[in-house]
Amino acid sequence: MDSKDKKNHDIIDDDLYEEIDEEELHELVKEEQRKAIERSKNKQESPKRPFPKWMFWVIAVAMTFNILAFFPQIISIPAIDFLQTSSTLSQNEDIQAFKEAVVVVETDDGKGTGFSINQQGKILTNEHVVDGYNSVVVSFPELGLYEAEVMESYPEIDMAVLQIKNEEEFPYLTIDDQYKVSQDENIHFIGNPLFFNGIANEGNIAGTILLDSWDREVMMIQAPVYRGNSGSPIINQAGDVIGVIFATLDHESNGRVGLYVPISYFTEL
C-alpha cells in the first residue's frame, strides 16, 4: 500500500477520454474539399487520356510506404500485445457475455466506455466522459446505437449514470459493493482503448493510493490501460463488477498503473 508522503512524486493522467482534435479535423476536411474541387476542375479542363499502368504501380507503392510509416503510430507493440490477450480471453464464454453489456459512449468530442447495470438500460461511466452533455450516444456490440440521457453525475468520484430511452431489455453486469480485494489478485476489464472497441484484458491489484484531489483512496492495477478505457468495468473472478477505471498513473514504485474507483463509492451515493 502507498503512503500519503509519496503521492506528490506521482504523475496522474486523470483523463483517459479518447479525444478528437476538432481544429485539426476541420483543417483536414477543408483541405480534402479543396483538393476535390481542384480535381473536378482539372478533369473538366483536360482531355481524357488513358491512365498508364506504370503510374498506377508508382502510386500504389507510394501509398504502401505511407501506410507502413503511419502503422506504428496506430498499432504499437503494446497494442499488439493487448489485442492478442483480448483475442485469447474472448474465447471464454463468460468474457463473451460480459462484453455484450459494455458500451462505447460517444460524444461530439470523442469516446469512452460504459457498462449496463440493469435490464432497463441504466449505464455507468466516468463523469469526465459525459461532462457538459445532457445526452450521449451509446453503442452495444450486438444491439447497436441508442440515445442515453445523463441522469446523475458524481464528480467527486468521477462517475455518472446514463439512462437509455428505449423500453427494451439490455444485457447487464452485476455489481458487488461488499467485495474485499486482495493484493496481487487477478482481475479482468473490458473497454474501448485507442482505435479499438470491445477489448478484454487482465491485470493484478497493485494496492491503494490517496490522490491529491481525492478524499478517499482509490485502487491501482498493473494492467495495460489506455485512452478510451475511461469507464471500463473492473470484474473479479466471480464475474461481478468491483470498480470503474478512470485514470492512469506513473507511480514511483509500481511504474505505470491503472486507477479505478471502488464500486462501493457509487452505491453509497
DSSP codes joined into one string, 7-30: GGG-EEE----EE--HHHHHHHHH
Structural domains of the chain ordered from first start: 4-17+174-268 (2.40.10.10), 81-164 (2.40.10.10)
Give me the pLDDT at residue 20, please. 47
- Cβ atoms < 10 Å from Cβ of 71: 10
CA distance 99 to 103: 8
CA distance 93 to 248: 29
Give me the pLDDT at residue 222, please. 96
Give me the pLDDT at residue 180, please. 95
Give me the pLDDT at residue 158, please. 97
CA distance 112 to 83: 18
CB of 232 closer than 8 Å to CB of 129: no
C-alpha dist (Å) from residue 182 to 149, 186, 236, 237, 238: 36, 9, 11, 12, 14
CA distance 259 to 235: 14
CB of 258 closer than 8 Å to CB of 217: no
Give me the pLDDT at residue 7, please. 42
Give me the pLDDT at residue 164, please. 97
Q: Number of helices (H) and strands (E), helices first, in the chain?
A: 6, 14
Q: What is the pTM of this model?
A: 0.75
* Residue ranges of the chain with per-residue pLDDT less than 70: 1-79
